[in-house]
Structure 1
Amino acid sequence: MSEMTVQIVTPDGIKYQHKAHFISIKTPDGELGILPNHVNMIAPLVVHEMKIRRIDKDSHVDWVAVNKGIIEVKDNTVTIIADSAERERDIDISRAERAKLRAEKDLAEAEKAHRIDEMERAKVALQRAINRIRVGNKY
């Protein structure tokens, strides 16, 4: 069976690098599954739960909370450059839940005061916190 190298890079450095048979990512246009020998491409990513089926055994799946970025697929190498990314095993659920509560509070206050910029920031923070909680609960 063919394989591809999957690498996730953030401003803090390489967060993930393994061989895989399949990955699932999400772009603004929807979900996309990538298999080895995929056509070369570049696409933007949204906040989402990335699924990586590793080559060591079929049941080995890694989940990564990806917070926006871009994906490049070229010659069986998948590179994700993300604002931030965390593997399921590295997510502190209680910290993510506190971030969710903070974002919900900030969103409510911004909506009450009709501050559009603050509302957008709070929505993004809430989306990221929920994504981290979902991925963290898969561990």
Structure 2
Amino acid sequence: MAEMSVDLVAVERLLWSGRASFVSAQTTEGQIGIMPGHEPLLGQLVEGGTVTIVDTEGRRIVAAVLGGFFSVTAGSVRVLAESAEFADEVDVEAARLVLADANASEEQQAAAQARVRAVERSANT
């Protein structure tokens, strides 16, 4: 099976680093899927998006991300997010409360939406 090196890094921490067979990210140009051997690419992540990594064991790692960039070479993907958290770290009820709050800022709404979406994608494995 073909594989590539993947790093998922947020400003505050390294979330995940290892070998993977697939990475999917929401970008300003749309959803993109990356497999080993992909053409070199530099992209911008959307505010309030998700990144999904399928490791070489077939496990799906899903994270909510708030902006940032990613870099792709034939053998590696580097996701550099402004902020990110794994789906299993998300407090879904708190995120839903933010979504229901008319006074929440646009950034807070985007973050909450990303968190809920990450949990939903993680549950669909």
Common fold: TM-score over 0.5: yes
TM-score after normalising by structure 2? 0.85
Cα offset, 1:75, TM superposition:
4.1
* More RCO (CA 8 Å, sep 6+): 2
| Residue 136 of structure 1: aligned partner | 119
| Residue 94 of structure 1: aligned partner | 93
Specify the code of the residue in structure 2 equivalent to 1:22: F
Matches within 5 A, 1:1-139: 1-46=1-46, 47-57=48-58, 60-101=59-100, 104-106=101-103, 122-137=105-120, 138-139=122-123
Question: Of the two, which has the highest radius of gyration?
Answer: 1
Cα offset, 1:18, TM superposition:
2.5
Q: How many residues align?
A: 121
Q: Larger strand proportion, structure 1 or 2? A: 2
SS in 1 for 2:70: strand
Stretches of structure 1 lacking an aligned partner (at least 5 in a row): 108-121
Stretches of structure 2 lacking an aligned partner (at least 5 in a row): none
SS in 2 for 1:99: helix
> Is residue 92–residue 136 contact of structure 1 (8 Å, CA) maintained in 2?
no
